[in-house]
Structure 1
Amino acid sequence: MSNQPKAVFLLEPVYDLSGQVIARELLTRLADDADINNKRNPERDVGFFSQLSADVKWQLFLHQIEKLIQLYQKGFDQIVSVNVDRDIVASIFKDAEMQEKLAQLTLLRLEISAFFTARFNSADLLILKGVAKVTPAPLWLDDFGPGYSNLSMFDSGIFEIVKIDKEFFWQFGNGRTFDILLNHLNELCNGVIVEGVENQQQVDLLAHKAIYGMQGYLWQSVYLDDLLA
């Protein structure tokens, strides 16, 4: 752990249309970011974490899982999704001890970016199906939008929930194309979460759409360590 960036973990809420928290996403912020709560340092984008070595990402994931084990042992009873990528998925597949730990976390969801599936092929499908077999944690797909995913991948039934990319929502959320996509995705998975909700107008826009939940900076995140204190 000494060679990895010092990390702070946040739990960002996912709300349903009735205003209830139905899940949380575990977010990683670096401790040297000036304002980590509800803000992203522009230099700490998705690309930053993709540049970390496979070992550093794995160590961060191990740290996340240990924290979640502690959280659930204290009686926490909400779904938490944790972001994974190709390197982490491959390591889970080879690590029997980690598989045993994940098997105990029945409320855990593994959230994989649509960047993983941008060139989705049979090899990707085998890897994801393999992980689905060795751990009961359902797979969620993050960042779904044009250029990063294709609908054919859902025929396998491996994704429980799909998250709509915020940029796609901002651009098309008030149009018929968005509604058609929601209906189609709901036929292929168990529900859709829309990311990028930042104001009440966007909540009102989604109020009558076929979604499972909403997520974004409109709602305050909480520090995971505060819940462990």
Structure 2
Amino acid sequence: MDSRLNIAVDCAFICEPVYQHNGKLLAVELLSRFTTTSFKSPIYTERFLHQLNAQTKAKLLHAQLCEVKNQQKWFIEHQIILSINIDFDMTNAVLNDDDVISLLDSMPFIRLEIMESFPNLGDGAENALLSKLAKRYSLWLDDFGSGNAHLAAASSGFFECVKIDKHFYWQWAGSVTFDNLVTRLREYCQNVVVEGVETHLQYCQLADIGVDAMQGYLFSSCPLEEVSHLPMQYGHFNIR
């Protein structure tokens, strides 16, 4: 993959596991990691993706789906969900690109994770583009509590799952506000996931207030090609 500066960039796909409050593996989130030998500084994924044009993002999405296709047997056999982040530029591909549509239709375990930068999330159920996506695909809402991802979007009925942003969680964890928010979000969707879980204590506290699943550095990630090595159970879930 080439950036606009014509610098050769390598892309690897990483899986971050999402474990339920009962310790069972619910899903993995597919993330892209970019590296280059052209300079030593790290490539920040969000910043790099923001610089790509819509055509290049569509190619990236297609590449992701092709790699997932190679691992689909494991996802199907174990009934594990895989979420893939999409932004506004990628929506044209998932709605109009025949190859992308065919790949998505062949892998119903995939969820499209709507990024908080998606335009007009605050319109909620009135967002025509989101409505169009929701009629065709199962959607997750990413980074609730940051930027545009707020209650109007979560309560739209479009999202199967809402993921609470890690910075929001770190700021409000343990407060009545946070506990009430989790309760309210569970009225609108099947699953509430909290990102940024780094300790077993945090995992236990979130399970106790009804959070469905957790994601974060507490759980080791792996390359997509090694996804079958992920533990199907978080081994310490019942330790208090």
Contact 2:154 2:162 in 1 (8 A): no
Q: Which residue of 2 aligns with 1:104?
A: 106
- Name the SS for the 1:174 alignment partner: coil
Between the aligned partners of 1:169 and 1:122, the Cα distance in structure 2 is 22
CA gap of 1:227–1:162, structure 2 versus 1, over 3 A, is closer
Q: For 1:61-76, what aligned pairs fall within 5 Å after superposition?
A: 61-73=61-73
CA drift of 1:205 comes to: 2.1
Between the aligned partners of 1:123 and 1:213, the Cα distance in structure 2 is 25
Between the aligned partners of 1:83 and 1:187, the Cα distance in structure 2 is 24
- Deviation string 1:36-72 (CA, Å, 9 cap, x unpaired) is xxxxx97515233222221221111100000111111
Between the aligned partners of 2:42 and 2:183, the Cα distance in structure 1 is 33
- Name the SS for the 1:171 alignment partner: helix
TM-score by length of 2: 0.82
Give, as a single letter, the amino acid of the residue that structure 2 aligns with 1:107.
F
TM-score by length of 1: 0.86
- Name the SS for the 2:187 alignment partner: helix
Picking from 27, 31, 38, the partner of 2:31 is 27
- Deviation string 1:120-157 (CA, Å, 9 cap, x unpaired) is 33797211221233x3x310000000542231233431
Picking from 75, 79, 82, the partner of 2:81 is 79
Q: Which residue of 2 aligns with 1:37?
A: none
Gaps of 5+ in 1: 34-40
- Name the SS for the 1:121 alignment partner: helix
Q: Which residue of 2 aligns with 1:11?
A: 15
Between the aligned partners of 1:128 and 1:108, the Cα distance in structure 2 is 17
Contact 1:182 1:211 in 2 (8 A): yes
CA drift of 1:188 comes to: 1.0
Contact 2:124 2:156 in 1 (8 A): no
Q: Which residue of 2 aligns with 1:209?
A: 209
Between the aligned partners of 1:18 and 1:123, the Cα distance in structure 2 is 32
CA drift of 1:30 comes to: 1.2
CA gap of 1:100–1:146, structure 2 versus 1, over 3 A, is closer
- Deviation string 1:1-50 (CA, Å, 9 cap, x unpaired) is 566732101111001112211110001111349xxxxxxx9751523322
Give, as a single letter, the amino acid of the residue that structure 2 aligns with 1:29.
R
- Name the SS for the 2:141 alignment partner: strand
Q: Identify which range, 171-180 or 88-97, moves more after superposition.
A: 88-97
- Name the SS for the 1:114 alignment partner: coil
CA drift of 1:207 comes to: 2.7
- Identity of aligned pairs, percent? 37
- Name the SS for the 2:196 alignment partner: coil
Q: For 1:38-57, what aligned pairs fall within 5 Å after superposition?
A: 43-57=43-57
Contact 1:118 1:148 in 2 (8 A): yes
Give, as a single letter, the amino acid of the residue that structure 2 aligns with 1:201.
L
Between the aligned partners of 1:167 and 1:210, the Cα distance in structure 2 is 19
Q: Identify which range, 48-57 or 206-215, moves more after superposition.
A: 48-57
Pairwise CA RMSD: 2.6
CA gap of 1:25–1:199, structure 2 versus 1, over 3 A, is same
Q: Which residue of 2 aligns with 1:222?
A: 222
Between the aligned partners of 1:117 and 1:165, the Cα distance in structure 2 is 18
Between the aligned partners of 2:182 and 2:227, the Cα distance in structure 1 is 34
CA gap of 1:195–1:92, structure 2 versus 1, over 3 A, is same
Between the aligned partners of 1:25 and 1:164, the Cα distance in structure 2 is 14
- Name the SS for the 1:47 alignment partner: helix
